[in-house]
Amino acid sequence: MRESIRYRPATEEDLPFLFVLYATTRAEEMRAVPWSDGQKLAFLDMQFRAQKSHYEQYYCDAEHLVIEKDGAPIGRLYIDRAPDDIRIVDIALMPEARGGGIGTMLLREILDEGAASSRVVSIHVEHYNPAKRLYERLGFQHVSTNGIYHLMEWRAAT
């Protein structure tokens, strides 16, 4: 499976894909609100732009990568590598790419990088995000909470 997966830098041309991907991560939440499709789309667009702006402001040195499988975009990985920490700013896969081990494989590679370089790997995750269970299975530990976000960290066994 690994040979069919690659990363490439995200470009402005990827924004339509990245918006669709973002919308899939909010799909369950959007089903619960009594808004019209137009209202949901406008809200998602506003939130996508706000997230993009936040990431650019607070993680200006992060790599913004598109994850491809067999040349087709299936996800994104935004990662910020600092001397003591590898921050997974954001990782998401399209629904059809979830649950098949791709995310686990990619996360294990990042954990291997953290172990090899003696760095902590960290991620903020919303408390209701189903991926939180995956992070816990991989050994991430809850460190702190800020609103709806939990900071989770992984440290190599010493």
Specify the 3-state DSSP secondary structure of 145: strand
Rounded Cα gap, residues 72 and 54, in angstroms: 27
The reply to whether the predicted model has a pTM over 0.85 is yes
Q: Is the pLDDT of residue 158 over 80?
A: no
Burial 130-147 (b: 16+ CB within 10 A, else e): ebbebbeebebeeeeeee
Percent of the chain with pLDDT over 70: 100
Where residue 2 falls among pLDDT bands split at 50, 70, 90? Answer: confident
Give the list of residues 6+ apart from residue 71 with CB closer than 8 angstroms, or none. Answer: none
Residue 130 has a pLDDT of: 86
Q: Is the pLDDT of residue 31 over 80?
A: yes
Residue pLDDT, tens place only, 35-85: 999 999 999 999 999 999 999 999 999 999 999 999 999 999 999 999 999
Label residue 21 exposed, middle or buried (CB < 10 Å: 0-12, 13-18, 19+).
Answer: buried
What angle is formed at CA 80 by the lines to CA 2 and CA 52, rounded to 5 degrees?
Answer: 100
Residue 124's beta-bridge partner residues? 151
CB 12 within 8 A of CB 4: no
Residue pLDDT, tens place only, 15-27: 999 999 999 999 9
CB 65 within 8 A of CB 74: no
- Average model confidence (pLDDT) for the chain? 96
Where residue 1 falls among pLDDT bands split at 50, 70, 90? Answer: confident
Residue 51 has a pLDDT of: 96
CATH class of the region 2-154? alpha beta
Where residue 157 falls among pLDDT bands split at 50, 70, 90? Answer: confident
Residue 85 has a pLDDT of: 97
